[in-house]
Amino acid sequence: MIPNRSTSSLIGSFCGHCGELYPTETFDGGSAPPSNVLQAGDVHVAGTAHRECAARLQLEPPRYCGQCGRRLKVQVSPHAWTASCSRHGTVTS
């Protein structure tokens, strides 16, 4: 069984919104994503790339695993969400 993981362990190279691999040349730390995006987990803002994705992730849960880019199984409830990757475990809001 894959254990639940902390948010930080699932931050990776793939965008949680569109599932694309972050371009390495823009992986410069950039502007920090909104704190609630970080809490949502599985989201990594790479410089200016995917800034729009980060904005979208303030109003929707991640759909792709940050570690491997697989589509996540996502359950949304009125006050929380859970996103599970078959390889990298589950994150919750």
- Contact residues toward other proteins (CB under 8 A) are 18-19, 58-61, 63-64, 71-81
SS3 8: helix
Nearest distance, CB of residue 47 and other proteins, angstroms: 22
Instruction: State which residue, 24 or 35, has the beta carbon closest to other proteins.
Output: 35
Nearest distance, CB of residue 76 and other proteins, angstroms: 5
Nearest distance, CB of residue 43 and other proteins, angstroms: 13
Instruction: State which residue, 29 or 78, has the beta carbon closest to other proteins.
Output: 78
How far is it, in rounded angstroms, from Cα 13 to Cα 16? 9
Strands 73-77 and 80-85: antiparallel
SS3 84: strand
Instruction: State which residue, 29 or 79, has the beta carbon closest to other proteins.
Output: 79
Q: What is the SS3 string spanning 40-54?
A: HCCCCCECCECHHHH
